[in-house]
Structure 1
């Protein structure tokens, strides 16, 4: 019998201090060459052990083998110049130095497939792998070739689909596409964002998920959240289209946010990864707080479709805080399982 309320994290966990500078996004590697390859695998083993010791049911790589959730994938594509960067505004919120599309983009070789095979060998539990979504990729670089966000997104979707098919063959059970941009560019999401995402999942038999959050707990994102008012209703703009899409699962930011939980009703029937851990604070939730978020969600999602999760990745947090949050997530889900069993 399938376990109720299978727990997981969205993506990243803090990296060990010997691999990269801690509590910092996009942090450069401290190792190089063969030592870097070995160091990444060691970090992946640690990430796996911490998830298993915390009682998580679906395991991921903690993004230990990549520097950034978007650009690491883009680095392996042709047609992108990483030397002559440009400054762009990402998600309409903060400026960053990004690579430039200078020619046709295409996937030359597998990007994460060997890492996924390595993770698959380490655990018998279901594994999940995160890829950047096409729209978020478009929003994380400067396009000097296609001059069209939509055209570039379709090209990225083709490359993502090639990678996703190989990840599936490597034994990945859930492929998650990270699309924080979906919370910002509503018209584009509905015009072509969902369509390009469906291209990225074309022909897959494994489960597919889209992760739509309000971003890492960094200052630019936290400042933006303060401007959103007492109710964050961004999901309302895109859920109807997602509801009609072929995506199996939707990963949401729910805990410690101002998202009205009843919006989940708009995706009734989909599996929902309910974010029950706030990654924008160092305070570790109590299991009861996690359980309370899950109870509220259960009014709008059937229990067999509820997957307790974190709001977003935990790369900027300390390892102790992240570890505490993992345990709180597992223990909170167990409270609800016991309530249902009685």
Structure 2
């Protein structure tokens, strides 16, 4: 009997209770030896594979597990190790691997940026022109391990050659052919060794194919895949795309591969239309990305089953794999430990394990009819209906206000130059003012206090006193360092989005809903399940207390609406714009409360603004229009003298510099240090006429930047930016850094700023 198969693209690395993170950090701290680290990582990896086997997935991915990041794994495998890490050939040591990711005392870490439009950060491979070589065949090792230890005939997974090339850096356009010619033989070697081993299918991830690529780029892709096919003709390649619809559907169908995976969640309309009008090759397997791998809601099984039936009219069922829309790296592992969520919410959720259960239910539902899985379909329908009809999704005090938004709600009273003069007159800041981004080190003392409070061992009054002690301590430290604009340190906050979600209506929080952000950094994204509303002031108490301790201005700190949107799992019954405007209206009230309490500088952080950009440039303008409006809706009601700041992470500034200016923030700080100041070059071609601070040192690396290093960054920025609008700051918050390291780094930063002032303003 011809049957549809169940597939999988990638599984979360972190473990049900973040075992992976704990093992990593124990190794970094020197608490476990390398052999113990490797043994523990193997146990975690095999447990994940065994779970997928027991769920019943036919095509289980292997090689998707990583000690840090899959793009870093690829760079290591190809020997793409920058000279500064002193690699001498052979299998790459773990110390070198982690130095590339985190830096060390002598070498700056490799750049880190967002994986397409997700909140996952990858390490950017650097090509320096040296000859590349295959240091080890990681997919082959993963395949052998799964087969020998679990009896799993795995599907090796690796980043496809074109996506890897396009996401790497270090080469100019004219060097691209040389880079391709170096890489393709290495892919050939990997595939030939897999073919020799008896591997049937290999998955090559090519999400870059859903972006706005050119016809010429598609020709290059065709050349690459022709080489791969001719080198390993017996090996079946599943060319996997995700996150949107493919750009060159007809050309893609002609590639010499045995399978093509398409996203029928985020690219549903275009991919389905192409399937109907162009058709699908008779000699290929279609990977149907059916279950949303980027959000946490249950699929509507009835609707998904109807979609499968529609697709089966164009592709025979024996050539269909039902699978998630992308790797499940982007969702938590399982809902089984979530004991504190309201059932109305929990029953409507599906994390990684539950999504794989949905795939199995859909396969069974297609072959045997819904009667064989009647309970699963019935429970699915009931859960989705209960949430849709809940009071939380139908708040009468939210929807009318969103509908009444008018043009004047998006604008400040005066243009930037006029209000900036008023702000300077009030604040009396020096030339090249220094500040930090917001957070200070969250030590074990801070975390333990929070844990005692959450467990009920401490009352709220005692916990608040502990927060005040930290604020007082760091206000004094900032005075001693000599910073010009202070922050209160955010010691009361676990996460910059979670903190606000806990205080707004319409948000839910999990106990174990962790996802990987970068390295061992895991976050628990809030779940926006209902209408968002302001309840009470959220940041005023701490901000006012901090300001009472100093004559220097203290920034009020809130997270912006677009970042809260992009870093949350959001409801899927409203548009992203509608949800963003709900959040913006709630935050607008918080901004007004801070201003009324006497806070003169308010920072509304938007580090995730860029990651929300659609992957197709044709859709950018629409997104940027409502994203900018959401920010301005939050900030536009303040007085002219109130200074609005914002912050952005790893921002390819040149891509949308006009939109960033349209935010109309008085000062923006941008994370730039890991890209070695390359962002500075953007200002050679694009002017920026508002206050700006380019991050002058990298806070993600456990090192103290030198005075000379920071001075160099300041000088490079001043070459292209107006000195009277230039601010000096680290490139991100200091939450994860140690106290001594933070103080020493900031002392060097202030010293560098002091020298720069003297050089630009000579003594009379």
TM-score > 0.5 by shorter chain: yes
Structure 1 stretch 152-161 or stretch 165-174: which is displaced more?
165-174
**Does the Cα contact within 8 Å between 1:211 and 1:252 map onto a contact in 2?**
yes
- Selected match of 1:155 from 574, 582, 586: 582
- Give SS of 1:109's match: coil
Render the CA deviation track for 1:170-203: whole Å, top value 9, x for unaligned.
2222211221212322337513211100101021
The yes-or-no answer on 1:237 pairing with 2:655 is yes
**Mapped pair 1:291 → 2:718:** no
1:22-54, Cα deviation, whole Å (9 max, x unpaired): xxxxx9534432221100010111121111111
Matched residue of 2:732: which SS?
Answer: coil
CA distance 1:293–1:263, change in 2 (3 Å): same
- Deviation, 1:169, is 1.8
**Alignment RMSD (CA, Å):** 2.4
CA contact (8 A) 2:539 2:557 kept: no
Match of 2:647 in 1: 211
Counterpart in the other structure of 2:238: none
Q: Does 1:168 align with 2:595?
A: yes
Deviates more, 1:235-244 or 1:192-201: 235-244
The structure with more strand, counted as a fraction of residues:
1
The SS at the match of 1:184 is helix
Match of 1:24 in 2: none
Q: 2:701 aligns with which of 273, 278, 281?
A: 281
Q: Which residue of 2 aligns with 1:217?
A: none
**Which runs of no fewer than 5 residues in structure 2 stay unpaired?**
1-427, 614-619
**Residue of structure 1 equivalent to 2:680:** 261
1:315 counterpart (724, 735, 742): 735
Structure 2 contact 505–531 (Cα < 8 Å) conserved: yes
- Distance of 1:90 and 1:148 partners within structure 2: 24
SS at the partner of 1:98? Answer: coil
Show the counterpart of 2:540.
Answer: 113
Query: Greater helix percent: which structure?
Result: 2
For residues 98 and 256 of structure 1, the distance between their equivalents in structure 2, rounded to whole angstroms, comes to 25
Give 1:29's match in structure 2, choosing from 431, 451, 456: 451
In the alignment, is residue 248 of structure 1 matched against residue 661 of structure 2? no
C-alpha separation between the residues in 1 aligned to 2:514 and 2:473? 35
TM-score by length of 1: 0.86
Aligned to 2:564: 137
The number of residue pairs the alignment matches comes to 318
Q: Does the Cα contact within 8 Å between 2:543 and 2:555 map onto a contact in 1? A: no
- 1:45 corresponds to 2:464: no
Deviations 1:119-140 (A, max 9, x none): 1111110111221111110122
Question: Which range moves more in the overlay, 172-181 or 156-165?
Answer: 172-181
C-alpha spacing 1:302/1:105, structure 2 compared with 1 (3 Å): same
Residue 243 of structure 1 and its aligned partner are, at CA, apart by 1.9
Aligned counterparts of 1:321 and 1:88: Cα–Cα separation in 2: 28
Segment drifting more, 36-45 vs 171-180: 171-180
Task: Quote the offset at 1:146 in angstroms.
Answer: 4.7
Per-residue CA deviation, residues 81-135 of structure 1 (Å, 9 max, x unaligned), is 22587566769x9874333222211011100111111111111101112211111
Contact 2:534 2:586 in 1 (8 A): yes
1:82 aligns with 2:504: no
Bigger RCO of structures 1 and 2 (CA < 8 A, at least 6 apart): 1
**Within 1, Cα distance between the matches of 2:524 and 2:548?**
37
Alpha-carbon deviations, 1:253-299, whole Å to 9, x = none? 23242433032453521100221121011221122221211111112
Normalised by the size of structure 2, how large is the TM-score? 0.40
The structure with the larger Rg is: 2
> Which whole-Å CA distance do the structure 2 matches of 1:76 and 1:48 have between them?
25
C-alpha change, 1:50 and 1:94, in structure 2 (3 Å) is closer
Matches of 2:549 and 2:541, distance apart in 1: 13
Instruction: Tell me: CA distance 1:116–1:80, structure 2 relative to 1, closer, same or farther (3 Å).
Output: same
Q: What's the offset of the Cα at 1:68?
A: 1.6
Gaps of 5+ in 1: 22-26, 215-232
Structure 1 distance, partners of 2:687, 2:597, is 30
SS for the counterpart of 2:444 is coil
Check the 8 A contact 2:646/2:669 in 1, yes or no. Answer: yes
Q: Is 1:201–1:208's contact at 8 Å kept on the other side of the alignment?
A: yes
Q: 1:161 to 1:90 in 2, by over 3 A?
A: farther
In the alignment, which residue of structure 2 is the partner of 1:56? 483
Kindly indicate whether the alpha-carbon contact (under 8 Å) linking 1:111 and 1:163 is maintained by their aligned counterparts in 2.
Answer: yes
Which has the higher mean CA deviation after the structures are superposed, 94-103 or 303-312? 94-103
Q: Do 1:85 and 1:98's aligned partners in 2 also have CA atoms closer than 8 Å?
A: no
TM-aligned CA distance change 1:83 to 1:197, over 3 Å? same
